[in-house]
């Protein structure tokens, strides 16, 4: 699966994880797993509400240094085991968000040796939003999240 990326509005990276694709999918789609990896430690996910279907909600609440951050979004595309696309541009019921930030695209593919090729893309509405996200530490933050995901998922393997 490939997408045309726009270097002015899209940030992305690809890593190979030593965990089977189906387990990575489960971690991303079962609310009980999200708190274990979704935000860089020491910050915490304190609530998750998932309705895994196109138009369904992907809502999370974070505790970042004692500040509560609510994030509401919807799934735009769900291809089991392969692709998740979600955005904060809308909330459940296709209600436009007042200040959308990005659309996230996760692509999963089998990697040699039973692992997963994991591609994360953050698509922004304009170059300024993209630059702000990059300057906020997109690569370090999302890189930390995928490292936490891989470590957590390894602990779930038999």
3-state secondary structure of 8: coil
Question: Structural domains in the chain?
Answer: 22-156 (3.30.530.20)
Read out DSSP for 138-156? HHHHHHHHHHHHHHHHHHH
Between residues 86 and 91, the one the model is more confident about: 86
pTM for the whole structure: 0.94
Poorest-confidence range of 1-5, 60-64, 146-150? 1-5
Mean per-residue pLDDT over the chain, rounded: 95
- Cα–Cα distance for residue pair 110/116, rounded to 1 Å: 5
- The reported pLDDT for the residue numbered 92 is 87
Structure tokens at 123: 């698509």
Asked if residue 1 has pLDDT above 60, the reply is: no
Phi and psi, residue 66, nearest 5°: 85, -5
């Amino acid at each position: 699966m490939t997408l045309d990326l726009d270097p002015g509005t899209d940030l992305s990276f690809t890593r190979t994880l030593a965990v089977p694709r189906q387990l990575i999918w489960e971690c991303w789609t079962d609310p009980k797993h999200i708190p274990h990896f979704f935000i860089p430690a020491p910050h915490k996910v304190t609530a998750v509400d998932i309705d895994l279907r196109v138009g369904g909600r992907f809502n999370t609440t974070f505790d970042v240094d004692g500040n509560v951050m609510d994030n509401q979004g919807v799934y735009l595309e769900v291809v089991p085991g392969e692709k998740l696309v979600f955005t904060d541009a809308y909330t459940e019921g296709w209600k436009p968000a007042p200040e959308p930030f990005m659309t996230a695209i996760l692509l999963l593919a089998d990697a040699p040796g039973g692992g997963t090729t994991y591609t994360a893309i953050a698509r922004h509405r304009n170059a300024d939003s993209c630059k702000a996200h990059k300057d906020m530490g997109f690569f370090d933050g999302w890189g930390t999240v995928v490292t936490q995901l891989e470590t957590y998922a390894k602990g779930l393997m038999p």
